């Protein structure tokens, strides 16, 4: 098993480009990663990496060994999945990712129930509003909002989320109440922007009488955390573009007010992206099916009353 662990570490170093990143990914120290790579190099009698100041690059031998190591690990995973499927006892770890708002409010609350039903399965949930590299970061799946760009991944639609533009009454009293996307631009409204490397969230897509149009918005406030944008909106800093379920309670209380009612943002699809091979694993299928079935119940509960008790557990 030690050799298999060494292979796992080696593969992640190649994919992530550094020993420190692989150490975080595998939940071990950088010293352990370095030791395991050293064991492989000693066993093979070759150097596996060219070390530079910026990134580790596999040598010619390392590139060849990487392809073989991936095949070995895939074969082991498929064999374990087949045994688990026959035994009907799913086991192992699931590595999943989701946006912060979706993850906190819809997906994370479901995990204890899933764990109770399948005690041999551990779920590792990573929450981030940045775009994720499912394959490169070793994820089994990622829940995403909007259209995926990676056509090599399979997609399972979960539900469509209604969106809304809204702001605090104090902001609207000071800056006016925009009725449409054109008002956002003409009146130079402060739009609260979700920002991370490679993001294109400075463009808001709004539904007009002529179809969906893209508006180039701007503002002095940016963050890579969607919940921070909501906090800023509540503080009167500007207008935020959010899934309705995340701000439904604030809209009911009057802490936030819907704006641009004539050109609202169209709904955005929540989907689950996963590599094709991962779906052959029964625990992955079970988790995707479970979350898909329960997310809609959670969404309806949040839209009705965010403080209501959770729905009755689904039979699985």
Q: Give residue 60's Cα distance to chain centre.
A: 34
Domains of the chain: 2-85 (1.10.10.10), 89-159+269-304 (3.40.190.10), 163-266 (3.40.190.290)
What spatial distance separates the first Cα and last Cα of the chain, rounded to whole Å? 33
Q: Please report which confidence band the pLDDT of residue 172 belongs to, taking 50, 70 and 90 as the band edges.
A: very high
Q: Quote the CA–CA distance of 118 and 179 in Å, as a whole number.
A: 49
Q: Quote the CA–CA distance of 171 and 226 in Å, as a whole number.
A: 19
Asked whether the whole model's pTM tops 0.95, one would answer no
Mean pLDDT of 111-129: 90
* pLDDT digit string, tens, across residues 133-161: 787 778 889 998 876 665 678 888 888 88
Torsion over CA of 297, 298, 302 and 304, rounded to 10 degrees? 20
* pLDDT digit string, tens, across residues 58-100: 898 989 999 898 888 878 877 776 665 544 678 888 999 998 8
Torsion over CA of 1, 70, 118 and 296, rounded to 10 degrees? 160
What's the pLDDT score for residue 132?
A: 77
């Amino acid at each position: 098993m030690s050799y298999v662990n060494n292979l796992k570490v080696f593969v992640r170093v190649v994919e992530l480009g550094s020993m420190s990143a692989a150490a975080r990914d595998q939940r071990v120290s950088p010293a352990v990663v370095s030791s395991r790579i050293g064991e492989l190099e000693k066993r093979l009698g070759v150097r596996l990496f060219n070390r530079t100041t910026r990134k580790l690059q596999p040598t010619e031998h390392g590139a060849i060994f990487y392809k073989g190591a991936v095949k070995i690990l895939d074969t082991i995973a498929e064999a374990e999945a087949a045994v688990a499927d026959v035994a009907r006892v799913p086991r192992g770890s699931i590595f999943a990712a989701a946006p912060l708002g979706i993850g906190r409010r819809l997906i994370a609350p479901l995990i204890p129930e899933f764990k109770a039903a399948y005690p041999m399965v551990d779920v590792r949930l990573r929450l981030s509003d940045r775009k994720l590299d499912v394959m490169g970061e070793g994820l089994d799946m990622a829940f995403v909002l909007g259209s995926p760009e990676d056509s090599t991944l399979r997609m399972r639609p979960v539900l469509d989320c209604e969106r809304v533009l809204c702001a605090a009454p104090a902001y609207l009293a000071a800056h006016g109440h925009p009725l449409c996307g054109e008002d956002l631009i003409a009146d130079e409204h402060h739009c609260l922007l979700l920002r991370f490397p490679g993001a294109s969230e400075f463009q808001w897509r709004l539904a007009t009488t002529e179809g969906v149009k893209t508006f180039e918005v701007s503002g002095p406030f940016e963050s890579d955390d969607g919940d921070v944008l909501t906090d800023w909106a509540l503080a009167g800093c500007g207008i935020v573009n959010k899934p309705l379920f995340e701000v439904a309670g604030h809209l009911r209380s009057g802490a936030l007010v819907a704006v641009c009612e004539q050109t609202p943002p169209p709904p955005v699809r929540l989907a689950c992206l996963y590599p094709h091979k991962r779906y052959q694993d029964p625990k992955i299928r079970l988790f995707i099916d479970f979350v898909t079935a329960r997310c809609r119940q959670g969404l309806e509960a949040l839209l009705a009353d965010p403080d209501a008790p959770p729905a009755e557990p689904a039979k699985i």
